[in-house]
Amino acid sequence: MTASLFIARLLGPLFILVGIALPLKTERFRVILQELVRSPALLYLAGFFGFLGGLALVLTNNVWTFDWRLIITLIGWLTIVRAVVTIFWPQQIVAVGSAILDHRAAFVAAAAVDLLIGLVLSYVGYFS
């Protein structure tokens, strides 16, 4: 099994889980986000672990061909960028997080994107 398939099998179900849980447990996620944006320590840890995870994805799957592996590469690089912003400019993350908290549609949109990514990665990882 290639690293890309392993990552697809790992991330696919996770994205599906979050995609299903977000609209069903919106208030729970809202409380979690509220706590996150109020805590400098939690923000730093989110940035630290996000950077670590994004770097692991990029180091094992930095594939820039136009196929399903590009999804993993983009997730890795976007995670790195978000983590760097979280560590160096946490006020930006607080502003974005606070704006998201005010709009239920943002949770629904995030859930739809997560579910779609999860389904694609799971299909490729488990059925192709």
Cβ atoms < 10 Å from Cβ of 89: 12
pLDDT tens digits, one per residue of 88-97: 999 998 888 8
* pLDDT tens digits along 5-39: 999 999 999 999 999 999 999 999 999 988 998 99
One-letter amino acid at 122 equals S
State pTM to two decimals. Answer: 0.92
Instruction: Evaluate if residue 87 carries a pLDDT over 90.
Output: yes
How many structural domains compose the chain?
1
For 52, residues 6+ apart whose C-beta sits below 8 A from its C-beta are none
Helix (H, G, I), strand (E, B) or coil at 52: helix
Quick one: CA torsion of 79, 91, 38, 80, rounded to 10 degrees?
Answer: 10
Print the domain residue range for 39. Answer: 3-127
